[in-house]
Structure 1
């Protein structure tokens, strides 16, 4: 370790002096250990401040990017913005009992305002693009996600195995989501009340052995249930305690899968979108295994100077050219539209950029909670 402080220099001198006088390896090693501890402790606050500033700047850049191109945001991008916005808002609740940095809070307050204005400005364009889809998923876009944060760290994951089934029926999944949100229209043309579900939906969303976007969509179903307070309704299909157990089970498996995507230093470009979706959905629920410093530093590297997230792979560019409305399928399996991409300015991707904003905002909240 290289010491750059006067304290480290003094202790280096002491080590040499003591070793000459006593000539014992034991004393020399003990003094060296003290030196290493002092150097490490002195540099920890500096590293924390550096990471906090990087996170704030990255979240600001992402918010400013979406604000500059709100007419081209798709529903996927709005979902990411609303999830991230909810995390930023809840930082202020967390800081009611903490002595948080006021300058950081001022920047976060500005970001939340930008996101709110951006989402409102984007709504008319989303409705014009696909009014039926807009009406069906409006409850997920109209307000930030404010979910209860219950910190939890998984232990003993050796026996947890990722699934392999990536099949997903888009229309069935959309119908199940709509039943929870209260936007499902029956055969008579009437809207069913929210928090309506069926055994078929419940079986679909709890089916075991799933992987990739299939299992994250299963988790998202239960997040929507919590977001719409369906777990609090008397006589509901699932209680808050049962919901938490389901979320925990799914996120254990998702974490093991995320570990397989991480190669020790980075994530393959084609898996970055999935990797961030895994971290966002489980992170906002308080599963802190996903809040790893090495992981968030990788995500920070993926962000471009414009503040967005891109994909430059040739096959994706080719599919952008041949698919209508600039959509790019990010999986070979049929998925709902949360799984589709739309190009924004500068070849930025709406879904991936929305996830990037959500991921960084989620880690920012975790970082502030654990630092103050």
Structure 2
């Protein structure tokens, strides 16, 4: 789910119900890696309790005010675009919009309780207008997707019918610029079908033998797959997404997840995922020209890690980078890969609705949803920073 790639699958699809020698050998190897990974995460989580690198400086009061106003303007422009294009927003894009709605509501609440006298009322009024507009957009978009593909939309309906709020715990990941990159296996490519089945089991929408399994169903195969080491890119972000869903649905401490009641906890796993994701994001932003596919991955990385409270992702230069990606129309486009439209339509490894979808003017549904969500995350973080520091 929420994946955009035109990479070809290099290995056979997995079936969660498959039981055979190949899967057993695969599971055995992953189990070994899993044990090694758990030890690594535990040691790292202990280390980060005692040593945390200093965060990149947040903007000053004046520059923060200017950046907040720029973000509100950009978010409002995107909202206007989505109002006119809701029929073309797929489930991918809808998730990003629900993340954005959750962030905007948190921002508006903070502005209501703060004692700022000058700009806060104006900001609050602007946000309330955007929230109201986007509430209508979200309802229309959800109804439209239910009408187009009821079965698939229903599978993720629990997450799509209301604003998405993260369990935020502010902290730094604790890596320096000179930290060596994590090791990866380039042959590991995310299997969307298998991954979606694992996500659906957690959400309580997976149907097996004509019976809908209860929420928080976590199988050994899924847990092993979602904890595989040496992953990167979209595989890595979807591993994180799996555990975010587990927390969101309230599955912690149940079944196989009871092993995470003590260190390493699920929060430790999330920190380790985001540590690796941050290193990848750094490499992406060091490119002289970040192409559209890397922009999509970068915004997905930020969308998942920043609202969890990992302050390393809240960087002024990254905020300006995402703002520069936005089209004057308010959406996010692909201006660098000319043949992606055909690839998105024909690549067999992408699911029907979870591929990127072109909207009017060359805008992209998935990327626009991600970009919108990230802008709201940045805004909420800046407002919270001002609230915390009292300026």
TM-score (norm 1): 0.80
Q: Deviations over 1:189-211 (max 9, x none)?
A: 11111111101110011101100
Q: Distance in 1 between matches of 2:144 and 2:72?
A: 29
Distance in 1, matches of 2:234 and 2:247, equals 20
1:184 and 2:206 aligned:
yes
| Aligned counterparts, 1:94-133, within 5 A | 94-95=110-111, 98-100=114-116, 101-133=120-152
Partner of 1:27: none
Gaps of 5+ in 1: 1-42
Q: Distance in 2 between matches of 1:223 and 1:108?
A: 26
Q: Match of 1:14?
A: none
Q: Deviation per CA, 1:72-119, whole angstroms, max 9, x where unpaired? A: 110011000001111111224444663351211221122222222111
Match of 2:281 among 252, 258, 283: 258
How many angstroms apart in 2 are the aligned matches of 1:276 and 1:179? 26
Give the equivalent residue in structure 1 for 2:216: 195
- Within the candidate set 321, 327, 335, 1:298 is matched to 321
> Is 1:91 aligned to 2:107, yes or no?
yes
Q: In the alignment, is residue 151 of structure 1 matched against residue 170 of structure 2?
A: yes
Of Structure 1 and Structure 2, the greater helix share is in 1
Residue 45 (structure 1) shift: 3.6
Residue equivalent to 2:306 = 283
* Root-mean-square deviation (Å): 2.4
For 1:227 and 1:276, locate their aligned partners in 2 and report how far apart those are by CA, in whole Å: 21
Residue 340 of structure 1 and its aligned partner are, at CA, apart by 1.6
Partner Cα distance (1:240, 1:107) in 2: 44
The answer as to 2:389 corresponding to 1:368 is no
| Structure 2 CA distance for partners of 1:285 and 1:199, relative to 1, 3 Å | same
> Which of residues 134, 138, 141 in structure 1 aligns to 2:160?
141
Q: Report the TM-score, using the length of structure 2 for normalisation.
A: 0.76
Question: Residues of 2 paired with 1:274 and 1:193: CA distance?
Answer: 32
- Note closer, same or farther for the CA distance 1:105–1:234 as it changes in structure 2 (3 Å cut): farther
- Partner Cα distance (1:338, 1:279) in 2: 22
Alignment: residue pair count: 320
Which of 1 and 2 has higher RCO (CA within 8 Å, sep 6+)? 2
Q: Is the alpha carbon distance of 1:240 and 1:149 closer, same or farther for their aligned partners in structure 2, counting shifts above 3 Å?
A: farther
Q: Look at both structures and tell me which one has the larger radius of gyration over its CA atoms.
A: 1
Structure-1 separation of matches of 2:293 and 2:203: 31
